[in-house]
Structure 1
């Protein structure tokens, strides 16, 4: 049945995905849908703004617990992934538990790789690749450091390195994690011990990278406004899927969850705080420059203009 869902959501995927468990009636309906979408796609070319063209191929830096849902907004930007239609979502209902990994496996077939970087790095750092190939093409979301750590600690699905310790002890293991992903290489979920050695000077260098080498910086804590800013910069319509949480940390939650920081027993991370504060400043400046408001989300249900 998974292949039926993929066929319905990905307008240019091969018919080979349709398996015997798809009923003949379903296939006929899907074929008509594909024919219609192909006809529409061939007759209209989406407007690609200069800011988006300059950022191509877009590379998503996915910092742990900073919004897997952001991927849905990225793949629906104009001309980035012509093989997906507006109704398609990257989530567990379509692609199963490992939906992010599954999408990147399909990515070269449904996205234009000259416009979207399909290399699946999950939570890998960009240390050495920043200057060589990624500068100017990066997009990311950052989250308030304490909320990010508590979200990982309480994740009902993935462990993120939690090993039975208290939230405060776990926080020490996460120290400098966001900064490390910008400045170092390797898997950052959980961050390696070398990340704990980063200094405030390293954070300031990471902040420079954020300002000079990222085409878009959003704030998870300001999700709706971040999505609207993304579209003000890069164009395209706001979609329902842009505002949905496809991996909620609290079961059944539909909106951003605020954790009680008292669990951290006074923990502070001055390194990641520097990076996060710079992200907020960049976000504020871009919001003013592009006159971004949450107006592209017209209701709590998430339907955009």
Structure 2
């Protein structure tokens, strides 16, 4: 229901651009900003890998266990969220998400060895995502 409200439509793009309304050319501007102004892009559905990739790119330090914890867990009684429903009618956010996901996968592939060196948890997540042949540490 919330995702279908008019004010929430293309909300992520509005946040990236820092504007309450999307101007003409918003998709291009949001894509340009995502590609040029973000040192790191992670995906919540790939949380463990996002934490590992962040550390591989930013400081090279092994993540602390607390960084992998879900501090705001959704109650088990809550209905599941379907990404296609959440992005329905949000063409700009859908395009921005696809760009972010591609950037995440590209950086993960480029820095797989660095990610794998961050410990067993990062190694397991990387293997699950990219297959065991990726790890040549």
Give the TM-score, by structure 2 length: 0.70
Which residue in the other structure is 2:102 paired with?
Answer: 281
Which residue in the other structure is 2:51 paired with?
Answer: 227
CA contact (8 A) 2:87 2:94 kept: no
User: Which structure is higher in helix share?
Assistant: 2
Q: 1:258 to 1:223 in 2, by over 3 A?
A: farther
Whole-Å separation in 1 of the counterparts to 2:65 and 2:108? 21
Whole-Å separation in 2 of the counterparts to 1:209 and 1:243? 28
CA contact (8 A) 1:176 1:198 kept: no
**Pairwise CA RMSD of aligned residues?**
3.3
Q: 1:277 to 1:238 in 2, by over 3 A?
A: same
Whole-Å separation in 1 of the counterparts to 2:16 and 2:81? 25
* Greater Rg by CA: 1
List per-residue Cα deviations over 1:41-72 (Å, max 9, x = no partner).
xxxxxxxxxxxxxxxxxxxxxxxxxxxxxxxx
Whole-Å separation in 2 of the counterparts to 1:284 and 1:266? 20
Whole-Å separation in 1 of the counterparts to 2:34 and 2:57? 16
CA contact (8 A) 2:10 2:93 kept: yes
User: Any gaps of 5 or more consecutive residues in structure 2?
Assistant: 125-137
Q: Report the alpha carbon displacement of residue 265 of structure 1 after superposing the two structures with TM.
A: 9.5
Which residue in the other structure is 2:8 paired with?
Answer: 174
User: Any gaps of 5 or more consecutive residues in structure 1?
Assistant: 1-165, 186-191, 300-305
Give the TM-score, by structure 1 length: 0.34
Matched residue count: 120
Which residue in the other structure is 1:23 paired with?
Answer: none
Which residue in the other structure is 1:237 paired with?
Answer: 62
Q: Report the alpha carbon displacement of residue 244 of structure 1 after superposing the two structures with TM.
A: 0.6
Q: Report the alpha carbon displacement of residue 217 of structure 1 after superposing the two structures with TM.
A: 0.7
Bigger RCO of structures 1 and 2 (CA < 8 A, at least 6 apart): 2
Matched, 1:218 2:42: yes
1:31-70 maps to which residues of 2 (within 5 A)?
none
Whole-Å separation in 1 of the counterparts to 2:55 and 2:37? 19
1:140-151 maps to which residues of 2 (within 5 A)?
none
